[in-house]
Amino acid sequence: MHELILGGQKSGKSRCAEQRAADWLAYGHRREAVLIATALAGDGEMAERIARHRADRAARVPRLQALEVPHELPEAVAEHSSPQRLLVVDCLTLWLTQLRLPLAGPALTESQWLARQAALCDALREAAGPVVLVSNEIGLGLAPLSRESRQFLDALGLLHQRVAAVCERVTLMVAGLEMAVKRP
């Protein structure tokens, strides 16, 4: 079963996903859980944030393995999915950022981005095991003033819609509390 967990900054979405991994691992010694992290450290503060997340995760869910995959997310889901392995993708917002607003190199064109998005949805449909995806819900506020920001917001909203259509569960995190949006 796949789940999309959405929420604002510090809403508890990553912890919720980690708890899903801990629960998965508790049901059997043969089970595995792998975090697919999409963040890149573009500055010192982000590097510290990533290091803090790594340490916190290791303390909370010691058996949660981690891979850093800032660009090739569909391929990582396809490669690492198995019936005994839960994948946690954290997060779709940063994945979109790496592809559409990269720190270095060219951004994907709209058609290239749509192909990557479709590849992710295909990988989710074909995944042999469960996948929990985390993303920031940033579309609840005012429309941004810049064209690039509006395009990013639109792209993220459409990505959420397409991923949510593939997932059996969608959860919205608010102040550390889960709100069921979609359930089987």
DSSP state of 82: B
Give the model's pLDDT for residue 14: 95
Catalogue all structural domains in the chain, each as residue range(s) with its CATH number.
Answer: 3-182 (3.40.50.300)
pLDDT at 18: 96
Confidence category of residue 108, pLDDT binned at 50, 70, 90: very high
Alpha-carbon gap, residue 129 to 120, rounded angstroms:
15
pLDDT(45) > 80: yes
CB of 126 closer than 8 Å to CB of 181: no
- What's the number of CA atoms in the CB half-sphere (13 Å) around residue 94? 20
Q: Is the separation of the CB atoms in 92 and 159 below 8 Å?
A: yes
Residue 53: active-site member:
yes
Question: At 81, is the pLDDT very low, low, confident or very high (cuts 50, 70, 90)?
Answer: very high
Which member of 2, 29, 53, 80 is catalytic?
Answer: 53
